[in-house]
Structure 1
């Protein structure tokens, strides 16, 4: 074996040691076991899949958050609507007690008209510029009123059978709007027209509007039914949010197991490689001692 062979072999071994140290230092500085796909092709493939799952979970979480906001807005509006209808019923009962004078019935009629306007406002409730009772319609309002007619005409302008939905899981889609025409009615069958009829009846000589109690109760039951449906859908979305949090934690744990280093192990291994490298340098210095003749050659 020639002197040059020993020299090349020693330098090659030193280069291997140095390359191993550089790789360990790169892992320690980045905190990742896989910095390029060639470090672990199978692990890199698993990382891409898990990161794709993370992006999907993040989107589902945004959808769920938006869905909860829609349903909460609807729930608040329906709660106010039910309270308003209770007040209308109480006023109608009060007017039909037989003790209500003409001025008293007029005052009740005025209050009922104010409650009608409040119901119309609730029916046109919006969230982020979208009407929650109009489906996918971009009309801006779910109900319009034409006061040029007598009685006034109320029209549902929402998109019929065009629901707003949010996907909160791979196979789970939840409706987040409400059918305004079902809740408040449309045209002459709307709750607004009903309150106009009650107010007009109270202004007649007889002034007995108790015949409308059945219609009020029917509309009230419709609101309660819709409230129950909204509550059930809201529960589904909240449950989906909980599942998404758990899934995100699981995915993060799996990803960490693939790509994150064991810092204590890396520090120990790097220390061992440094000792080996220093030993190799010392050995090479003793084996490769050039003489004057080596320089002259």
Structure 2
């Protein structure tokens, strides 16, 4: 084989380029702290690496869903706690007003306080997380509860949300509701009332328009027995009993309200316990996600992270090799016919 000067020059350039390329790869790994910066760096780990990154991306979304659910549940829990406090206050007012020593004026003064508690309950029903109302079901862009008076002067509580479950996906193919059931409407196929929500139940599940407000009637003053149940019904009936001093059974009705309020407090507490259990479940799942992410990130680090101590030594060696190849090449290019004629 004939070795020409052009061959030697091309070989020298190729070796210099190879050494420079190796040095550039190592310097990139030092800069990124990753030994794998593109699929071609190590095709063998591409599949498991992509799977891990996919799991981490899903977990990030699940974590956001859990945070959203925890915010919903936290507001629901604290609101129902406040509802329980208001019902307890109404219960105490009823006990005081049931006393024989209470005059008509004193009972009417208590009725004014009960009326204010009803307004508070409406406000609680319109609790929100950001722009979403937690007791409105999926129709949660507007306040769901409103207190109005119809054309006959009868007071009503209108519900303008729905009773659908608001769910969040918190694991693969696993979703849980994050809202408490606010109200129940209608009966099932056997004629039994559907489960009562935290705020009550109404037999009629049809949408109605009263005083320009369209929704489902959760309570209407003067309704027939069995048409309504729940906290609004009991608070209104207590208020009406306190105001009706002409009724010979006034004291008895107030005493009945005491027992009814206790039942309502128990039902609200049941809903709050369910919300609290779901909150604890979401917190546990959040911790599990965190632990899973730590494990996945550790595995990913093992697969793609560079050994910085070894890499530093390698870069020094490659730098020396590159500089040596440059020096040799420079000396070779300096050689000419005159060097041989000396």
TM-score, normalised to structure 1, is 0.89
Note the residue ranges of structure 1 that are not aligned, 5 or more in a row: none
Note the residue ranges of structure 2 that are not aligned, 5 or more in a row: 184-196, 201-217, 220-227
Match of 2:233 in 1: 193
> Larger helix proportion, structure 1 or 2?
1
Q: Are 2:228 and 1:183 equivalent residues in the alignment?
A: no
Equivalence map 1:195-210=2 (5 Å): 195-203=235-243, 204-205=245-246, 206=248, 207-208=250-251, 209-210=254-255
> Larger strand proportion, structure 1 or 2?
2
Question: RCO higher in 1 or 2 (8 Å CA, sep ≥ 6)?
Answer: 1
Relative to structure 1, the CA distance from residue 280 to residue 83 in structure 2 (aligned partners, 3 Å threshold; closer, same or farther) is same
Match of 1:125 in 2: 127
In the TM superposition, residue 92 of structure 1 has moved relative to its aligned partner by: 0.9
Relative to structure 1, the CA distance from residue 114 to residue 282 in structure 2 (aligned partners, 3 Å threshold; closer, same or farther) is closer
Match of 2:290 in 1: 245
Partner of 2:270, secondary structure, is helix
Residues 134, 140 of structure 2: 8 Å contact kept: no
Once residues 85 and 320 of structure 2 are traced to their aligned partners in structure 1, the CA distance between those partners, rounded to angstroms, is 80
Once residues 212 and 26 of structure 1 are traced to their aligned partners in structure 2, the CA distance between those partners, rounded to angstroms, is 77
In the TM superposition, residue 237 of structure 1 has moved relative to its aligned partner by: 0.8
Deviates more, 1:255-264 or 1:283-292: 283-292
Partner of 1:180, secondary structure, is coil
TM-score, normalised to structure 2, is 0.78
Partner of 2:101, secondary structure, is coil
Equivalence map 1:24-173=2 (5 Å): 24-138=26-140, 140-148=142-150, 149-160=152-163, 162-173=164-175
In the TM superposition, residue 280 of structure 1 has moved relative to its aligned partner by: 4.1
Residues 34, 44 of structure 1: 8 Å contact kept: no
In the comparison of the two structures, how many residue pairs are matched?
295
Q: State the Cα deviation string for residues 152-173 of structure 1 (Å, max 9, x = none).
A: 122322212x111112222432
Once residues 108 and 282 of structure 1 are traced to their aligned partners in structure 2, the CA distance between those partners, rounded to angstroms, is 101
Q: State the Cα deviation string for residues 232-271 of structure 1 (Å, max 9, x = none).
A: 0000111111112112222222222222211111110111
Partner of 2:198, secondary structure, is helix
Match of 2:281 in 1: 236
Residues 151, 196 of structure 1: 8 Å contact kept: no
Q: State the Cα deviation string for residues 171-200 of structure 1 (Å, max 9, x = none).
A: 432211111111111324242232122111
Q: State the Cα deviation string for residues 125-176 of structure 1 (Å, max 9, x = none).
A: 122222211210146122232313443122322212x111112222432211
Relative to structure 1, the CA distance from residue 7 to residue 199 in structure 2 (aligned partners, 3 Å threshold; closer, same or farther) is closer
Deviates more, 1:257-266 or 1:9-18: 9-18
Relative to structure 1, the CA distance from residue 139 to residue 171 in structure 2 (aligned partners, 3 Å threshold; closer, same or farther) is closer
